[in-house]
Chains A and B, each alone.
Chain A
């Protein structure tokens, strides 16, 4: 009896706990911008394959929700209210991140360092070129942002 009560209580407590919010550092810096594309240096974390995906996702997130200082994209493409926007358009963002649609906006990903360890995790720096015009058009076509004008 006590055993069942203990497990039931454990499950209820575990479910009641608020989810842990993981905040990753942006680690995205501007390199150059030419004719609708932007090249950024980002730090990817994890094994080889994971570090590429991590760096690419950081770049896309920075462009969508943070903006890149010193670049023509100082303003975020969507806005700073990341959670609110993701909650409004879950299908789009699930497809973009989990469905890896973000890859279709990336023109090239070139590693600029070999794997190194920092704060206990494996990291690699990449120079990532993003087709910003295509990304903006995609956001407009899916009504995530307004087209230019009213």
Chain B
């Protein structure tokens, strides 16, 4: 009896780690897979006010080399960027083909707005008695909100050479990986906390409604009803109001999820539709325009 008790205890102790290992494996098997719509990223040269992007790019081969190296870094991570010049050409070609169709200035802006994320590259050549060097300033930001995603300065080091293209390549290599890692950390934050959209609510010139009006049955001013709705519908209650006046209300950072409850991709368009439905429930007549991640609502 005693011997059996001893053997059973020993057996229990020896088998318990095995049970633990299988328990961990079961947890790993149910981890969800990832499949999400990706942002469109465009690499562009830095331009001063009044300068034209295309002219700057066509005039300087070294800038083109730097931009190509940056795009190469994105490619090495399996990510395809949008080519600025090709996009511009495509937009012009599309314009020729659709010139007979109905078009307005808003449609043209949407056609020309190329990307969700811009990566801006500033290339500076420094020549002195100790040699020539290239400094590269890389800035990544969300096109609609202006939220900064990654910033890095790369340097080539100084060499006695006039091969600026090679120096530009070295400057890119010195910081590209780091830049992409920071950007990926921000993308992961977006996955966890939602992506930013701007919601701009204004009134038609002939509208009799104002932000202080009390539409619907709640008896609350429209601006307060809107904030209540935003609090309920923004992802993790995460939103920021830029300002409210009697004629305008701007939410400059509203977080929306990348996927809806069913696991389907969720876009700013779908969020705008929810907002549209809300206005209808309080007997208002909204019109919505969407440019990338910016939602414009005009109440009539």
Where the two chains meet, the residues of A that have a C-beta atom closer than 8 Å to any C-beta of B are 1, 4, 7-8, 11-12, 14-15, 33, 36, 72-75, 87-91, 133, 136-137, 140, 143, 146-150
B108 at the interface (CB under 8 A from A): no
Minimum CB–CB distance for A2 against chain B, Å: 11
Chain B residue at minimal CB-CB distance from A149: B38
Task: Let me know if A4 and B2 touch, CB within 8 A.
Answer: yes
A8 touches B74 (CB 8 A): no
Kindly provide the distance from the CB of A79 to the nearest chain B CB, expressed in whole angstroms. Answer: 9
- The stretch from B5-13, B49-57, B95-103, B204-212 touching chain A is B5-13
B130 located at the interface, meaning its Cβ lies under 8 Å from any Cβ of chain A in the complex: no
Residues on B facing A (Cβ under 8 Å): 2-3, 5-6, 9-10, 13, 16, 21, 24-25, 27-28, 31, 33-34, 36-39, 74, 76-79, 177-178, 180-185, 187-188, 190-191, 195, 258
Indicate if the CB atoms of B13 and A15 lie closer than 8 Å.
Answer: yes
* A90 and B24 in contact, given A12-B13, A75-B185 (Cβ under 8 angstroms): yes
CB distance from B230 to the nearest CB of A (A): 23
B5 contacts A150, C-beta separation under 8 Å: no
- The reply to whether B25 and A90 contact each other, CB–CB distance below 8 Å, is yes
In the complex, which residue of chain A has the Cβ closest to the Cβ of B178?
Answer: A72
Interface contact B28-A148, CB-CB below 8 Å: no
Given contacts A75-B182, A143-B31, A148-B78, 20 further A-B contacts (CB under 8 A): A4-B5, A4-B6, A7-B6, A8-B6, A11-B10, A15-B16, A33-B177, A36-B76, A72-B177, A87-B24, A88-B27, A90-B24, A147-B34, A147-B79, A148-B77, A149-B39, A149-B184, A150-B187, A150-B195, A150-B258
**Chain A residue at minimum C-beta to C-beta distance from B77:** A148
Q: How far is the CA of A13 from the CA of B238 in the complex (A)?
A: 50
Q: Is the CB of A147 within 8 A of B2?
A: no
Interface centre among A7, A8, A15, A148 (most CB of B within 10 A): A148
| Contact between chains at B76 and A133 (CB < 8 Å) | yes
Name the residue of chain A whose CB is nearest to the CB of B174. Answer: A72
Q: Are B79 and A149 in contact (CB under 8 A)?
A: yes
Q: List 11 A-B contacts (CB under 8 A).
A: A8-B5, A8-B9, A33-B177, A91-B28, A136-B77, A137-B78, A140-B78, A143-B34, A147-B77, A147-B78, A150-B187
